[in-house]
Amino acid sequence: MTKSVIKVQNLGKKYKIGLREPYYSLRDSVANLFKKKKPRDEFCALQGINFEVKEGEVLGIIGPNGAGKSTLLKVISRITPPTTGRVLIQGKIASLLEVGTGFHPELTGRENIYLSGAVLGMSRAEISKKFNQIVEFSGISQFIDTPVKRYSSGMYVRLAFSVAAHLEPDILIIDEVLAVGDANFQKKCLGKMGEVSQGGRTVLLVSHNMHSILSLSSRCLFLSKGKLIQSGEPEKVVKAYRESASGNSQGKTNLTKAAHYGDGSACFTHISLRDPEGNPIFVTGCNIEVELTIKAYENISNANVAIVISDEQENRLIDVNTLIKGYSLDLKKKQQAKVIFLLKNVRLQPGVYTVAVWMGAFASHEIDAAKYASSFEMEARREDVLYTSPFPGVYACEFDYKIKKDRGKGI
Amino acid sequence: MNNNGQEKITYEIKPPRGLIKIDFKEIWQYRDLLYILIWRNIKIRYKQTVVGVGWAIFQPLVTMAIFTVFFGRLAKIPSDGIPYPIFVYAGLLYWNYFSSALTTASDSLIEDESIIKKVYFPRIIVPISTAATPIIDFFFSMLVLFILMLVFHFTPNFWGILLIPVLILITFVAASGLGLFLASLNVKYRDVRYILGFFIQILFFVSPIIYPASIVPAKFKLIFYLNPMSGVITLARDTLLHHFSPNWLLLLISFGTSLIFIIGGTIYFRKTERFIADIL
């Protein structure tokens, strides 16, 4: 019954490395006229991709950075041509690869609605018809005649999203744009998008947020290094992606080649981070097991072993060590040991955190330390998905709330 | 862009090969975008200026005054019996449109990089819309010409007025043609920006703006009129100020060369168009 609206067949995209440079210069080109042509380095952004998308499907696309997700979206939305293969498309496409496509800072909100709407593929009549809805949806009607350069970033995003939310294409292509905006408004947009997919519209969605992939998409593709690794049910594909990610800096890391300092009488050789099930997946409020492997080259005694967790701005957030618990490590020459910390109910906000390791006999005497031993990404809890990233503050405490209102008469 | 019933647009994305045809139907579908982009360009042109569109009037008037003093009075360049200020202004009018259309069109793809990299639409709309935008300035400067004509006791005549839209169309076509070529070249080689200034300066001197076409030696006439601006400016003066009936051959040559410009420019543009998003 449902037909395919997108057919991708053996799709490939190569970039010549030279083509990715900012610009050519005429001098180089003239000089090259007289030289023998060297075979240029090529970079395969996409290779042999095959898949189909059925009408009304919400297809999530995941993969590590540089996997070719954005290139794939750009080829499907006709921004850049493929090198091999082909794509067959039925229906009108709108692509949201950026928040506020076409916005001009000098123009007013009103003017930008028309501009951005037209750039995204709406006709003038369509924009005029929906104009009031768009303004109302954005909730910034009193600033509609102010140039958008005077908007706060929140207002800008609201207006931009409102225009995008009122597109009525057959196929909607979204790249990571949901990561911005304040939480309530984000929720509103997600709701509007839900309507979109129920209206028989097809959505292609790239995101790094596994929770929005899981909650929105009906099928999922996993890309890596330009190749399609797996496709199918979102749960399975997300799991496969996470497992493959554990081979990276998340999970177990060999520290022998990391930057160390200290007297070297003993060394950290490995660090591994995992949740209690053994996966390197961390969600706000989870427990984290940090396992450190230490090898002694000399006899050491009274060593305090510590880990420090910092955020991306290098603020120290967590410092735990064995001395707090009254333990210090003694090791004989060539002896190996594992120190396992169990961090309980780690309530950090979603984001990326680095882990530093330190070992010292006294406060001043450093045996071994590595500042960037490992890193991990904290994800939002699935039930919190609508209320994530935009809230500042590093600590995500658990809370309840009550509301008490007076009778509304004032004082 | 219009929903034509249940019939859904189907298209195929393939690696580009060979000569690509121009899809006029598609450009027509995107006419609203063309309109909105022209409207945007006009809007932002005079944002945050005190005088606003007044600049479209002052700029050629001031240039006219300077040229009259230096070229008319001091250098005594002939003007075929027409007062030098109005003579030079009639030429400047078309020239200013041509040079600003060409300059902005050449830079247009780089200026609109952000939308080109994020959304699909026929890219040709960007340089065409920027080349069309300065027509608004032309319109205001034209009003000033009529006032000057009143001041210098010139009566407007039939051919002179009838030819204005034709001449501006030729100028638009020529500027768009060159603009398309330079815009796509500019994406690849930013050298274009620097060369363009000299190029426009040379064109200024080989076009009959500060001097009449009548002083060009006969043996150079053919080459001289291969520049569509030579024909346009000469025709404008002949009909509006001299009250001659139009030289049809000259009109035909100017139209022909500007057509060659736009065909050549479009072919080159189409060849590079599909890769613009990759190299911008």
Q: In terms of CA atoms, which chain B residue is nearest residue A92? A: B9
Arithmetic mean of pLDDT, B175-183:
96
Q: In terms of CA atoms, which chain A residue is nearest residue B11? A: A89
Q: In terms of CA atoms, which chain A residue is nearest residue B33? A: A118
A54-64 burial by CB neighbour count: b if 16+ within 10 A, else e?
A: ebbbbbbbbbe
**Chain centre distance of CA A258:** 26
Q: To probe the interface with A, which of B10, B118, B192, B195 has the most A CB atoms within 10 Å?
A: B118
Q: Closest CB to A95: pick one of B8, B119, B275.
A: B119
Spatial distance between the Cα atoms of B89 and B68, rounded to a whole number of angstroms: 9
A342 Cβ under 8 Å from any chain B Cβ: no
Q: To probe the interface with A, which of B119, B278, B280 has the most A CB atoms within 10 Å?
A: B119
Using CA atoms, how far residue A62 sits from A224, A377, B259, B270, in Å, is: 9, 16, 49, 34
Interface of A with B in 9-28 (CB under 8 A): 15, 19-20, 23-27
Query: A99 contacts in B (CB within 8 Å)?
Result: none
Interface contact flag, B189 A24, Cβ < 8 Å: yes
A119 Cβ partners below 8 Å, 6+ apart? Answer: A101, A102, B33, B36, B115, B119, B121
Q: Which runs of E-coded beta strand occur in A210-297?
A: 219-224, 227-232, 252-254, 266-274, 282-283, 286-296
Arithmetic mean of pLDDT, B172-183:
96
Helices and strands (DSSP H and E) totals, chain B: 13, 1
Which has more confidence, B62 or B280?
B62
Q: Is the pLDDT of residue B173 over 60?
A: yes
Query: What is the per-residue pLDDT for A397?
Result: 79
Q: In terms of CA atoms, which chain B residue is nearest residue A82? A: B15
> What CATH number has the domain spanning A252-387?
2.70.50.60
Q: Residue A94's closest CA among B109, B273, B121?
A: B121
B167-183 burial by CB neighbour count: b if 16+ within 10 A, else e?
A: bbebbbbbbbbbbbbbb
Arithmetic mean of pLDDT, B109-132:
93
What's the gap in Å between the CA of B36 and the closest CA on chain A? 6
Q: Is the pLDDT of residue B183 over 80?
A: yes
Q: In what order do the strands lie in the sheet with A171-175?
A: A93-96, A171-175, A202-206, A58-62, A219-224, A227-232
Interface of A with B in 95-114 (CB under 8 A): 95, 97-98, 101-102, 104, 106-107, 111, 114
Point out the least confidently predicted range of A26-35, A395-404, B6-15, B229-238.
A26-35
Spatial distance between the Cα atoms of A12 and A20, rounded to a whole number of angstroms: 17
Q: Closest CB to A82: pick one of B13, B43, B121.
A: B13
Query: What is the per-residue pLDDT for A21?
Result: 46
Neighbours of B230 (CB within 10 A): 24
Arithmetic mean of pLDDT, B187-193:
88
Q: Is the pLDDT of residue B251 over 60?
A: yes
Tell me phi and psi for residue B56, to 5 degrees: -65, -20
Q: Is the pLDDT of residue B10 over 90?
A: no
Query: What is the per-residue pLDDT for A180?
Result: 57
- Please state the domain extents for chain B: 26-279
Spatial distance between the Cα atoms of B66 and B188, rounded to a whole number of angstroms: 38
Query: B12 contacts in A (CB within 8 Å)?
Result: 86-89
Spatial distance between the Cα atoms of A38 and A380, rounded to a whole number of angstroms: 49
pLDDT above 70: percentage of residues in chain B: 95
Query: B122 contacts in A (CB within 8 Å)?
Result: none
Q: List, for chain A, all residue ranges whose pLDDT scores fall below the cut of 50.
A: 19-23, 248-250, 386-390
Q: Closest CB to A19: pick one of B2, B117, B278.
A: B278
At A95-128, the pLDDT tens digits run 888 888 889 999 999 999 999 999 998 999 999 9
Arithmetic mean of pLDDT, B39-51:
84
Interface of A with B in 34-63 (CB under 8 A): none
Query: What is the per-residue pLDDT for A388?
Result: 46
- Burial class of residue A337 (count of CB atoms within 10 Å of its CB; 0-12, 13-18, 19+): middle
A79 Cβ under 8 Å from any chain B Cβ: yes
Q: Closest CB to B33: pick one of A87, A97, A118.
A: A118
Interface contact flag, B15 A83, Cβ < 8 Å: yes
Query: Which residues are A93's β-sheet partners?
Result: A171
What's the gap in Å between the CA of B133 and the closest CA on chain A? 16
Interface contact flag, B117 A123, Cβ < 8 Å: no
Q: Closest CB to A97: pick one of B48, B118, B190.
A: B118
Identity of the amino acid at A357: V
Q: Closest CB to A25: pick one of B8, B189, B275.
A: B189
A396 DSSP 8-state letter: -
Contact indicator for B212, B80 with CB cutoff of 8 Å: yes
Query: A78 contacts in B (CB within 8 Å)?
Result: 13, 120
Query: Which residues are B189's β-sheet partners?
Result: A24
Contact indicator for A112, A103 with CB cutoff of 8 Å: yes
Identity of the amino acid at B102: L
Using CA atoms, how far residue A5 sits from A121, A233, B10, B225, in Å, is: 19, 19, 9, 54
Sign of torsion, CA A186 A192 A198 A204?
Answer: negative
Query: B36 contacts in A (CB within 8 Å)?
Result: 114-115, 118-119, 124
- Please state the domain extents for chain A: 4-245, 252-387
Spatial distance between the Cα atoms of A307 and A172, rounded to a whole number of angstroms: 45
Interface contact flag, A15 B278, Cβ < 8 Å: yes
> What CATH number has the domain spanning A4-245?
3.40.50.300
Please report the ipTM that was assigned to this predicted complex.
Answer: 0.87
Spatial distance between the Cα atoms of B40 and B62, rounded to a whole number of angstroms: 27
